Amino acid sequence: MLVGTAIEEETNMLQPSFALTAMMTGFGLGAGAIFSIGPQNLKLIQAGALHRNPAVVAATGYLSEILIVIAGVSGVGAFLQIVPSVQTAMQTAGIAFVIWCAIKALRSAGSANRPEWARNGGETRGQAIVSMLVTTWLNPLVYIEIMLLVGVFSSSYDNSLRIWFALGFLGASGVRFCGLPAFGRVLAPWLQSPRAQASFNRLAGLLLLIVAASQAAAIL
Q: Which residues contact 87 (CB under 8 A, 6 or more apart)?
A: 80, 81, 144, 148
Percent of the chain with pLDDT over 90: 26
Most confident listed range (7-21, 50-64, 71-85): 50-64
- Asked whether 58 and 47 are in contact (CB, 8 A), the reply is yes
Per residue in 101-155, pLDDT tens? 888 888 876 664 554 544 445 678 899 999 999 999 988 878 777 887 888 788 7
Confidence of residue 185 (pLDDT cuts 50, 70, 90): very high
Per residue in 143-167, pLDDT tens? 777 887 888 788 778 878 888 999 9
Out of 4-8, 65-69, 81-85, 175-179, which region has the weakest mean confidence (pLDDT)? 4-8
Q: 160, exposed or middle or buried, with CB in 10 Å at 0-12, 13-18, 19+? A: exposed
The pTM (predicted TM-score) of the whole model is 0.78
